[in-house]
Amino acid sequence: MFEVLAQGATAEIIDWGSDRVLKRFYSGFTRQRVMDEAARQRTAFDAGLPVPELVEVIQTDNDCWGIVMEKAPQTNIIDVCSSQSQMLDFMVMLQRRIHNVDVLFPTMRAKLETSLFQSKLPLDNMSLALRKLQEIPVGQSACHFDFKTSHILGDGRQWWIVDWAEAVVGHPRADVCRTWMMLELWKPDTAEMYRQRWSDLGYDDFEDWLPILAAIRLLESRPAMENIKLRSWVRTLI
């Protein structure tokens, strides 16, 4: 029996031999959804980004779909770095590297519009959010759009960025804002240090994206205290 190396919200990582792992998605994830993620991962790898090489998409014996890929270390950036400052330096470096490649991902604006229509926003707030989305520059940069510590694996010398399901082409400030939002919800002191690094690079206005991203985050089942903060950000639309 193959060893389960890690478990997440959508899939588990299974040892698949000496140099491969299987990302096996839980029941309910369709073949098309898995193929879409695999395509984004292959695109990122082909662009020269530090991404595990994709081998194949398979259907397992329990009718779940999975992606077989190159094995990366199962230690994430928190485990490896000696300080928050070092971790954030690596995070910003890697995120900027993503933003600087030329790829064909789905567009951020289309993804956000679809998510807003699915959100729980009152109709007037949704209209404000959609109007704001039209006013913000669209951008043409590659964005991971789920860039967080658990998706950065490595050993301190080499890094692998995983979980490309949300990858889009859009504005890098939106990508930065989403990472900052996640940090602010979980570890505000780290979020402030992350913000300062991007501010030093001229990204002082990324929070323009915050009410839109917070509204979409509310689509997920979140802890009560997190929802309170998300709703406070959504209210800045008004």
In the chain, how many domains are there?
2
Please tell me the distance from the alpha carbon of residue 54 to that of residue 174, in angstroms, as a whole number. 27
CATH number at residue 142: 3.90.1200.10
Residues 34 and 126 in one domain: no
Residues 117 and 56 in one domain: no
Per residue in 121-148, pLDDT tens? 788 888 888 888 888 888 899 999 999 9
* Mean pLDDT value of segment 50-67: 93
What type of residue is 189? Answer: D
Residues 120 and 167 in one domain: yes
pLDDT for 221 beyond 70 = no
What long-range pairs does 124-131 form, CB within 8 A, spacing at least 24?
125/215, 125/234, 125/237, 125/238, 128/237, 128/238, 129/211, 129/212, 129/215, 129/237
Mean pLDDT taken over the chain: 92
Residues 104 and 20 in one domain: no
pTM of the shown model: 0.93
In which band, very low, low, confident or very high, does the pLDDT at 31 lie, cut at 50, 70 and 90?
very high
User: Please, what is the Cα angle at 135 between 131 and 139, to 5 degrees?
Assistant: 125
CATH number at residue 61: 3.30.200.20
The boundaries of the domain holding residue 42 are 4-70
Last residue of a domain, one of 70, 96, 113: 70
Lowest mean pLDDT among 4-8, 19-23, 123-127: 123-127
Residues 111 and 189 in one domain: yes
Residues 52 and 116 in one domain: no
Residues 62 and 84 in one domain: no
Residues 81 and 56 in one domain: no
Per residue in 71-103, pLDDT tens? 998 899 999 999 999 999 999 999 999 999 999
Residues 219 and 142 in one domain: yes
